Amino acid sequence: MFTHSQKLASVRIVLVEPAGDRNIGAIARVMKNFGLQQLILVNPQCDPHSEDAQQMAVHAQDVLAAAQIVETLPEALQGCVRAIATTARFREQLPLEHPHRALPWLLETPLEQPSALIFGPECRGLSNQELNYAQRFVCIPSNPDYSSLNLAQAVAVCCYELTQSVEFSTGDRTETPDYAAFDELEAYYQHLQQVLLTIGYIYPHTAASRMEKFRHIFNRAYLDKNELNMLRGILTQMQWALQKNAKPE
């Protein structure tokens, strides 16, 4: 059976373009408070190792020092099989969930299959394009007249909810699907777009909006590797059939 600390250590806290070094330091501190260790910074707009960040981290300088810096969100999610994005705004076609209900789902994977909790920039939150990389979406209930929390506060609330739910997660199940990682899903989406463009189902000027809908459909399915391989096989067979039946000019 997995221990409390092992389950939490498998969750990545992903900050997209954080702008405040003091916020990053405070987040490192709250992560250590609740037993989370993996901090990923996507294209940070500040110095995460500044004196202010160090001071706010207090005794969590080790978490801050170990933070990984990457250029893009797909890089931050590489190897992950589950991801939840946070938002303070209602988004059409995105079902928003309470953190207490959704966050335990991040812990229901084997230790070798990490998951991620994604937070947007302080100034704007996550864009629609960035939300495409998540499978579920949480919104922290707050005063509707002033709903936007400070980034470090939002991370603290979610870390607390993860800690409270860890004892009820099912990560110690004997049979767990071998989920497809996000980089594998991304390769499938690129393959799908290529085929749909070839057969004329989508066009270059509509591809982005159409593919966003397909992403939402397949992200909700939580595909395992065998299922994804089957879908990739269908696309490959379609391409073969198209080439075979193509008539010379």
Asked whether residue 176 is domain-assigned, the answer is no
CATH number of the domain within which 53 lies: 3.40.1280.10
What is the model's pLDDT at position 195? 93
Tens place of pLDDT for every residue, the chain, 249 residues? 455 677 888 899 999 999 999 999 999 999 999 999 999 999 999 999 999 999 999 999 999 999 999 999 999 999 999 999 998 876 667 788 999 999 999 998 877 789 999 999 998 889 989 999 999 999 999 888 887 789 999 999 999 999 887 655 544 444 567 888 888 999 999 999 999 999 999 999 989 889 988 988 898 888 888 999 999 999 999 999 988 887 665
Kindly report the pTM of this predicted structure. Answer: 0.80
Asked whether residue 174 is domain-assigned, the answer is no
Residue 63's region, left for phi above 0, alpha for psi from -120 to 50, else beta, is alpha
The residue out of 108, 143, 168 marking a domain boundary is: 168
CATH number of the domain within which 238 lies: 1.10.8.590
Are residue 158 and residue 206 in the same domain, yes or no?
no
The domain of 211 spans 182-245
d(CA 24, CA 112): 26
What is the model's pLDDT at position 246? 76
d(CA 96, CA 14): 19
What is the model's pLDDT at position 172? 47
What is the model's pLDDT at position 110? 78
What is the model's pLDDT at position 152? 95
Structural domain count, the chain: 2
Residue 33's region, left for phi above 0, alpha for psi from -120 to 50, else beta, is alpha
Question: Quick one: tokens of 106?
Answer: 């991040």
What is the model's pLDDT at position 1? 46
